[in-house]
Amino acid sequence: MFGYVRPLQPELRVRDYDAYHAAYCGLCRALAKRYGFRSRFLVNYDMTFLFLVRASVRPAARTRNCFCPARFWRKKPCICDDGGYDRVSACTVILCYCKILDNIRDSGFWKGLGYRLLKLVYHRPWKKASKDAPEFADLVRAKLLALSELEAAQSPSLDATADAFAAIVSACADDLPDEAVRRPAQALLYQVGRHIYLCDALDDLAEDLRADGYNPLRYRFVPTQTGLQAEDLAYLGRLMDSSVNLAGAALSLLPVRQYGALLENIVYLGLPAVYTAVKTGRFRAKAKEFPRKENQP
Q: What is the pLDDT of residues 250-296, one digit of tens each?
A: 999 999 999 999 999 999 999 999 999 999 888 876 544 444 443 33
Look at residue 92 and tell me if it is in a domain: yes
Per-residue pLDDT at 71 exceeds 90: no
Overall number of domains in the chain:
1
Look at residue 295 and tell me if it is in a domain: no
What is the pLDDT at residue 225?
A: 77
> Using one digit for the tens of pLDDT, what is the confidence trace for 37-61?
999 999 999 999 999 999 999 998 9
> What secondary structure letter does DSSP report for 41?
G
Look at residue 176 and tell me if it is in a domain: yes
Over residues 103-115, mean pLDDT? 81
Look at residue 245 and tell me if it is in a domain: yes
Average pLDDT over the chain reads 91
Output the CA–CA distances (angstroms, integers) from residue 24 to 21, 46, 108, 221, 286, in the order listed: 5, 10, 33, 37, 18
The H or E element containing residue 77 is strand 76-79
Confidence of residue 3 (pLDDT cuts 50, 70, 90): confident
Query: Structure pTM?
Result: 0.91
Q: What is the CATH number of the domain that holds 187?
A: 1.10.600.10
Q: Which residues is 78 bridged to in the sheet?
A: 64
What is the pLDDT at residue 283?
A: 85
- The domain of 191 spans 9-279
Look at residue 206 and tell me if it is in a domain: yes
What is the pLDDT at residue 293?
A: 40
Neighbours of 181 (CB within 10 A): 20
Look at residue 296 and tell me if it is in a domain: no
> What secondary structure letter does DSSP report for 60?
P
Range ranked top by mean pLDDT from 128-142, 203-217, 224-238: 128-142
Look at residue 2 and tell me if it is in a domain: no
CA torsion sign for 227, 233, 235, 238 is positive
What is the pLDDT at residue 12?
A: 94
User: What percent of the chain stands above pLDDT 70?
Assistant: 95
